[in-house]
Amino acid sequence: MKQIKLLLLFTFASAVSASAQNRRYFDEVFSSVTVTANVTYAVNATVLYLAPPPNGVGQAIPEQIRCNIYEPEGDTETARPLIIMMHTGNFLPPQVNGGCTGTRFDASDVEMATRLAKMGYVVACADYRLGWNPIASTQTERVYTLINAAYRGVQDSRTCIRFFRKEASTYKIDTEKITLWGIGAGGYISLASATLDTITDTYIPKFLTPQGPMVIELLSGDLDGTKVGFNPGIPGLPYPTGDTLCYPNHVGYSSDFALAVNLGGALGDTSWIDENDVPMISYHNPTDPFAPCGTGIVLVPPPLNLPVVEVSGSCTAQEYFTAYGVQSAIVNANFSDQLSLHAESINGGLDAFYPFLGNDSSPWAFSANANPYNLGTSPNCETFAATHDAYIDTIMRYFAPRACAVLGLSPDCKTIKTTELSTSQVGMAAVPNPTMGDFILKSDARYEMQNIEIVDVAGRVCARYMNVNNTQFEVKRGNLAAGIYFARVQFKEGFVTQKIIMN
């Protein structure tokens, strides 16, 4: 029981809002955000329509690549840190990947972008060029199309960075404080963008064929997407001779960024990591079967389960980032809050890796409805639940102090401490307890309850009540099954965990 209680406390420490020490970049200090939608940040060649007519056009064609920009409403700062958020979706559009994800409008991305903007960041949810062949008949073709899809993603992420450098005064961006945030397939992009220095980094056995490298600069353009790429007549390619595959955008601006974030992505190869890379914060399920957390083969999802290529996820990559010293700003901050200590206790002592244990490979992800992209047949997507909110809370609370340390956002980047109080200290009581139905939580008149969560013994949030601001509150049982639960009650002075027995 002691172990269960500790896990509950760690989760609670990550989720509560420390209103007593409200700080920009740590808390949601703005009540609303302004969203500028459908901003074109580049025009570049897409391969999605390469199929011969009538199903395709037989060549790569120019595509407007867009982003939605989230800004804190009423903000007076003139130089704000920027986060570029790249969505998931298996490098395929919703119509192909199953319909739940794959655009800058993915609901969980919108939620994270909104929260980050309320914390004081400018956030751009950005699309990028899609397209590869996961059902190719040979593994070589699957690898070839995937590494080139990731390469185009790197080009687009760096192009987006250059766009915001060019438009820094328009969006009030501090160009020295840019973060690239990748989710799922976007995580592959953020990891590769943080580590690839030159196209020759891809000249390793798994990305080579008897005919030569799978990624060719003359064909695809350079890593930054600042050089024209075209097919000069290379035989055996699906692109016609003279077909342009890369159009330069915003040439002359830097593609550099200061921090990377990876949610559930993987790195093409650990040989790409060196001491010149930017710090990386990762979140990953260690048992993720599709994007390995360690080093393993990435698979095309069921029902195909086709092997593609060996990659290294967060469990392996974060060790390399630490070993090369690129995490020094985070390591030197010496975070000792409960959330950090808990993460280190389950991640091997690393300073910027939060493992999400359980059966869900992306527990933060949800959709606006069961069919968010209006496909002909409903994909039955997972919609919002309180657990998603709790996972995103943890992501934000773990990210905030580390971003502060890397970007230099505050003289004091320590997380806000949350103190555990005793039930007797605050006069905490549940009446009746045990209970057959609803119950009332009470506290002493000097201690006003702010927020309440009801969780089960596995740590799952079953109910959440925000802004209670009272010394008495009735909790409805609803459809909760019989068993042991915990009321996690937040006060201005700290928090209390009250055991509840439901018969």
Q: Which positions ≥6 away from 236 have C-beta within 8 Å?
A: 211
Are 401 and 433 a contacting pair, CB within 8 Å?
no
Q: What 3-state DSSP class applies to 62?
A: strand
The dihedral over CA atoms of 29, 30, 36, 38, expressed in degrees to the nearest 10, equals 50
Task: Please report which confidence band the pLDDT of residue 11 belongs to, taking 50, 70 and 90 as the band edges.
Answer: very low
> What mean pLDDT is predicted for residues 465-492?
90
How many whole angstroms from its chain centre is CA 272?
21
How many whole angstroms from its chain centre is CA 161?
18
- Alpha helix (H) ranges present in 94-198? 94-97, 107-118, 139-166, 168-171, 185-195
Task: Please report which confidence band the pLDDT of residue 214 belongs to, taking 50, 70 and 90 as the band edges.
Answer: very high
pLDDT at 23 over 80: yes
DSSP letter assigned to residue 104: T
Q: Where are the domains of the chain?
A: 28-407, 423-502
> What mean pLDDT is predicted for residues 325-335?
95
Q: Which residue has the tokens 């692109």?
A: 239
The dihedral over CA atoms of 475, 476, 481, 487, expressed in degrees to the nearest 10, equals -10
Interatomic CA distance for residues 411 and 315, integer angstroms: 31
Backbone angles phi, psi at 156, to 5 degrees: -70, -40
DSSP letter assigned to residue 179: E
Using one digit for the tens of pLDDT, what is the confidence trace for 141-166?
A: 999 999 999 999 999 999 999 999 99
Are 121 and 82 a contacting pair, CB within 8 Å?
yes
Q: Which CATH architecture has domain 28-407?
A: 3-Layer(aba) Sandwich (3.40)
Residue type, 260: A
Sort strands 229-230 and 259-263 into parallel, antiparallel or unpaired.
unpaired
Q: Which CATH architecture has domain 423-502?
A: Sandwich (2.60)
Residue type, 306: L
Interatomic CA distance for residues 91 and 301, integer angstroms: 13
Q: What 3-state DSSP class applies to 99?
A: coil
DSSP letter assigned to residue 201: G
Using one digit for the tens of pLDDT, what is the confidence trace for 260-289?
A: 999 999 999 999 999 999 999 999 999 998
Using one digit for the tens of pLDDT, what is the confidence trace for 347-378?
A: 999 999 999 998 899 999 999 999 999 998 88
Q: Which positions ≥6 away from 257 have C-beta within 8 Å?
A: 84, 161, 178, 179, 180, 193, 278
- As a whole-number percent, the residues of the chain with pLDDT over 70 amount to 93
Task: Please report which confidence band the pLDDT of residue 20 belongs to, taking 50, 70 and 90 as the band edges.
Answer: very low
